[in-house]
């Protein structure tokens, strides 16, 4: 294995991890926003 292939595999691994983290954070953000919206709407209507 040459240095270029090692660097390429490392980059692909980092990209995969970043993509997974990005999707995970996006889901958490959506859940948080919807939770806050439902909480605020409940307080607003009662």
pLDDT tens sequence across 12-41? 999 999 999 999 999 999 999 999 998 888
Output the pLDDT for position 42: 75
> Is 22 part of any domain?
yes
- b/e map 24-42, b = 16+ CB within 10 Å: eeeeeeeeeeeeeeeeeee
If DSSP codes are grouped into helix, strand and coil, which group holds residue 2?
Answer: coil
Output the pLDDT for position 45: 65
> Is 40 part of any domain?
yes
Output the pLDDT for position 39: 86
Query: What tokens does 43 get?
Result: 């307080």
Q: Considering only the C-alpha atoms of the chain, give the largest distance between any 2 of them, rounded to a whole number of Å.
A: 66
Higher-pLDDT residue of 45 and 36 is 36
| 41: containing domain | 7-46
Mean pLDDT, rounded, for 2-12? 93
7 pLDDT more than 70: yes
> Is 1 part of any domain?
no
The domain tally of the chain equals 1
């Amino acid at each position: 294995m040459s240095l270029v292939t090692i660097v390429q595999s490392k980059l692909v691994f980092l990209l995969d991890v970043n993509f997974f983290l990005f999707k995970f954070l996006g889901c958490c953000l959506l859940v948080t926003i919807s939770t806050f919206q439902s909480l605020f709407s409940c307080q607003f209507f009662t």
